Structure 1
Amino acid sequence: MRFHTRKWVKPEDLNANGTLFGGKVLAWIDEEAALYSIVQLESKKVVTKYISEINFMSNASKGDIVEIGIEVVKFGNTSITLNCEVRNKMTHESIVTVDNIIMVNLDEKGNPTPHGKTKVEYVKDRLAKKEEERSS
């Protein structure tokens, strides 16, 4: 799994018990899944359709740094399915795991539309492909 984003746990991220609020973590996961999908599908209109069971495994405290990892499970016709792990950067202990997050590509009217992607693409590969097209 590739860990793309780090978050610093600040006082405003805490619950009444003084640990990281689950709702804050879920918001971070949803945002990261959206950003990852937008980049992979090369589309600005991507929405969350489904988030499977969420497994809270440990907590984080003020001052901890957590990192969010996203991995593609599969590409659908109009969707991309991801899994996610949030872990403590210092201890590498898993804080939360989510097995399936389904993001859907939309057209300008808000309807699901095919994205044409079948595999993970990295920016360096896209740049090499564009350079290759320019030289031919």
Structure 2
Amino acid sequence: MRFHTRKWVKPEDLNANGTLFGGTLLAWIDEEAALYSIIQLENSKVVTKYMSEINFMSSANQGDIVEIGIEVVKFGRTSLVLKSEVRNKMTRETIITIDNIIMVNLGSDGKPAPHGKTKIEYVKDRLEQQNENGSGN
């Protein structure tokens, strides 16, 4: 799993127990899944359809740095299925896991649309390919 984003747990991110509020963490994961999907599918119109069981394994405290990992489970016709793990950057202790996050690719009409992708692509590879094909700068 690749960990793309780090977040610093600040006072406004805490719940009444003084630990990271689960809703804040889920919002961070949802945003990371959306950004990852937008980049993979090359379409800014991507929405979250489903999140499977959420397994909170430990908590995070103010001042902790957490990192959000995303991994592709599979490519569907109009969707991308991801899984996520969030862990404490310093201790590597897992905070939360989500086994299935389904992101749906939308067309200009706002309805699910085929994306034509079948494997993970990296932006640097796309740029190299553009340069090789003469369509880059």
Q: TM-score range by the shorter chain?
A: over 0.9
Identity of aligned residues (%): 78
Which string of whole-angstrom CA distances, capped at 9 and with x for unpartnered residues, describes residues 50-78 of structure 1? 00000000000000000000000000000
Q: Aligned with 2:24: secondary structure?
A: helix
Cα shift at 1:24: 0.4
Give the residue type in structure 1 aligned to 2:75: F
The corresponding residue for 2:96 is 96
Q: Does 1:72 align with 2:72?
A: yes
Question: CA separation in 2, counterparts of 1:45 and 1:71?
Answer: 20
**Match of residue 18 from structure 1:** 18
Runs (4+) off by over 6 Å? none
Answering whether residue 6 of structure 2 is matched by residue 6 of structure 1, we say yes
TM-score using structure 1 length:
0.98
TM-score (norm 2): 0.97
Q: Which amino acid aligns with 1:6?
A: R
Distance in 2 of aligned mates of 1:83 and 1:3? 12
Following superposition, the deviation at residue 123 of structure 1 comes to 1.2
* 1:17-96 alignment, distance < 5 Å: 17-96=17-96
Looking at structure 1, the residues matched to 4 and 99 of structure 2 have their Cα atoms a distance apart, in angstroms, of: 17
* Secondary structure class of the residue paired with 1:134: coil
Within 2, Cα distance between the matches of 1:108 and 1:119? 23
Shift of 1:101: 0.2
Tell me the CA shift for residue 108 of structure 1.
1.3
* Structure 1: gaps of 5 or more residues: none
Residue equivalent to 1:128:
128
Q: Distance in 2 between matches of 1:113 and 1:2?
A: 27
Question: What is the root-mean-square deviation of aligned Cα atoms in Å?
Answer: 0.8
Q: How far 1:132 sits from its partner (Å)?
A: 1.2
